[in-house]
Amino acid sequence: MSPSVWRAGRFAIDLARPQVMGIVNATPDSFADAGVAATADRAIARCQQLVAEGADILDIGGESTRPGATPVSAETELARIAPVVTAALTMGRAVSVDTSKPEVMQAVLGLGADIVNDVAALRAPGALDLVAAHGTCGVCLMHRRGTAQTMQAERAYVDVVAEVGDFLRERIAAAARAGIALDRLVVDPGIGFAKGAAENLAILARQRELLGLGVPLLVGWSRKATLARLAGLAAVPAAERTPAERERLAVASSVAAVLAVQRGASIVRVHDVASTVAALAVWRAASSAGSSSRDDAETAPRDAGSLGR
């Protein structure tokens, strides 16, 4: 059974309620959000907006991980995110940093960041030992083949769910050997990373199989190309979409978030926090009402006409 609390820096995050991780892309080349947080001031304002909308966790990134994205130096990445992390730490929410570079991890953990969210699952030289030595930060290990430049050519799977599970199981074991406690870990199957629509949907359909890994599951469907296509939209950057098209994709993203939670995800990583929070509130209310109805039915006395034939 997975831990019910995620130990993450300053926080013990209660996973009894699904957690919403709000995305803050402090980059000028984000595919999904048209650079709404491309400067430090705009990224800080974005953090404030997401907190007001109900985000439980702020996930701040300074390098695009979209297919074909150009890598940036650790210095550039850190310059983009350091002032944002510093400001976000005052907002009363767990602060996650989306990075694969040990130099950036060390710097932001030194600032006080609570979580390292690594699309490379701590495979960079030195990353695993650095995070283990920190002792308290939360960690998200994600599945991805290749790099941003090569991953779309590495989408051949025999059984994508089993192969993702095997990879994540190995990274959990590596983290444990390094001394990282299981209650500091969550895993992400990496929707859209070295995966096409068929693979993404197979993971969603069989997501419960990944719960056997023994750590909580974080899932990020938000604004992915698979959802765009299912919603009848072209897979184009956010800047090229009309407001109506963006709203259509936000609805699809919120539905996918609810489906992920229904299938056992403890955390959903999203751009559209307000709509996701609202959708999950409806899901929780319906789930609670359904449980109450079942409990009432089991305890209520039956009359003669209700007895089985």
- Residues labelled as active-site residues: 224, 269
Q: In what order do the strands lie in the sheet with 267-270?
A: 185-188, 138-142, 115-118, 94-98, 57-61, 19-25, 267-270, 218-219
DSSP 259: H
Neighbour count for residue 60 (Cβ, 10 Å): 30
Q: How far apart are CA 280 and CA 270, in angstroms?
A: 12
Q: How far apart are CA 151 and CA 291, in angstroms?
A: 43
The closest of 245, 268, 264 to 256, measured between CA atoms, is: 268
Cα dihedral: 166, 169, 174, 175 (round 10): 150
Cα separation values, 99 from 29, 152, 269, 282, Å: 16, 20, 15, 33
With residue 278 as reference, give the H or E element that holds it: helix 273-299
Pairing of strands 267-270, 115-118: unpaired
Establish how many alpha carbons lie within 13 A of residue 115's alpha carbon, considering only the half-sphere containing its beta carbon: 33
Class of residue 53 by CB neighbours under 10 A (exposed 0-12, middle 13-18, buried 19+): middle
Backbone angles phi, psi at 7, to 5 degrees: -80, 115
The closest of 250, 257, 191, 259 to 226, measured between CA atoms, is: 191
